[in-house]
Amino acid sequence: VQLQASGGGLVQAGGSLRLSCVASVSTFSTYTMGWFRQAPEKEREFVAAINWSGSTTLYADSVKGRFTMSRDNDKNTVYLQMNSPKPEDTAVYYCAAERFLSTTQAMGIMRRYHAWGQGTLVTVSS
């Protein structure tokens, strides 16, 4: 699976930004997709995930209520809508893909994902 993330950039706190991730795989609709982020000098952390059908989503507490993850299986694409971002959301955002994650809990575990995109930088100014 090849993943291409895009949509990052500079955004003011309180604004909005939408990230996209396109997957080059014919069986995209069978994959759980996740967004992770890594801020400078910090470890990579979970942000959001969505199951194969889009019926189940999982969010980190830090973004719950502000970020929304969705997918379009016809376009092999997942999105992360970032509303009211904060300066502490500044990070490189990575999308990841994995098949056969059987539990909601597993969707939030970074080491369960084996396909990763290159990352897109999001900078939130105060």
At 99-112, the pLDDT tens digits run 988 789 999 999 99
Mean pLDDT, rounded, for 113-125: 97
Give, in degrees to the nearest 5, the angle at Cα 92 between 85 and 40.
Answer: 95
Is the pLDDT at 55 greater than 90, yes or no?
yes
What is the Cα Rg of the chain in Å?
13
Calpha distance 64→44 (Å, rounded): 18
